[in-house]
């Protein structure tokens, strides 16, 4: 019975978070339609990031490699590794663009793997766009920085994406 109650509470919290997110999006669209510049929720601008980095929770290197292969025409592993073999380098080809990708296991504690697309030629404008795709494809929590690493930005403000719910959080372990 306690398990059923916990499950009900978790479902209810997730539904409430989705509803809050939907309300914020509707309010933003109403404000945009009225040409008011007010932003209700902190958001990155649509300026293309020069590179993309996301943090994936509790997924194996093999699973992440499979996801990378699904993104483009090819994904070749490089022979270059760091001394403790936790950083792996790939060349990912998407739409005829060769993109260097670095995967660093245990980048933030044991649970988090960093995936860094070291190019501005990715299909994503910003880190959050990639994190959304990764979270759904890998069925796990994905985090990314809330801004584009500009002066004055809060380096501990991150997006947490899980079960298609996006939440701004303070994350100091990255």
107 and 30 both lie in a single domain: no
Q: Which residue has the tokens 């509790």?
A: 58
Contacts made by residues 84-91, CB under 8 angstroms, sequence distance 24+: 88/61, 90/65
23 and 77 both lie in a single domain: no
> How many CB atoms sit inside 10 A of residue 1's CB?
5
Q: Which residue has the tokens 């929590």?
A: 141
**Helix boundaries (H) for the chain:** 2-33, 61-71, 127-138
Q: Which residue has the tokens 């916990």?
A: 6
Q: What are phi and psi of 168, to 5 degrees?
A: -80, 130
How many structural domains does the chain have?
A: 2
Task: Read off the pTM.
Answer: 0.70
Q: Which domain holds residue 19?
A: 1-41
In a domain, 47, yes or no: no
pLDDT score, position 28: 46
Give 36's pLDDT tier (boundaries 50, 70, 90): very low
Give pLDDT tens digits for 114-126: 999 999 999 999 9
How far CA 77 is from CA of 94, 118, 126, 154, 160, in Å, comes to 15, 15, 24, 34, 28
31 and 68 both lie in a single domain: no
pLDDT score, position 108: 86
């Amino acid at each position: 019975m306690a398990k059923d109650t916990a499950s009900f509470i978790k479902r209810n919290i997730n539904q409430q978070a989705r509803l809050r997110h939907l309300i914020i999006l509707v309010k933003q669209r109403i404000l945009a339609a009225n040409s008011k510049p007010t932003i209700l929720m902190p958001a990155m601008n649509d300026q293309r990031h020069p590179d993309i980095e996301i943090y994936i929770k509790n997924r194996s290197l093999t699973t992440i490699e499979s996801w990378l292969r699904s993104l483009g025409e090819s994904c070749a592993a490089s022979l270059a590794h760091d001394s403790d073999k936790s950083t792996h380098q790939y060349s990912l080809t998407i739409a005829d663009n060769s993109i260097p990708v670095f995967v660093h296991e245990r980048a933030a504690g044991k649970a988090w793997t960093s995936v860094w697309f070291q190019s501005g030629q990715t299909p994503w404008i910003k880190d959050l766009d990639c994190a959304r795709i990764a979270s759904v494809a890998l069925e796990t929590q994905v985090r990314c920085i809330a801004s584009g690493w500009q002066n004055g930005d809060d380096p501990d403000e991150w997006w947490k994406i899980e079960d298609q719910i996006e939440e701004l959080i303070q994350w100091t372990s990255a």
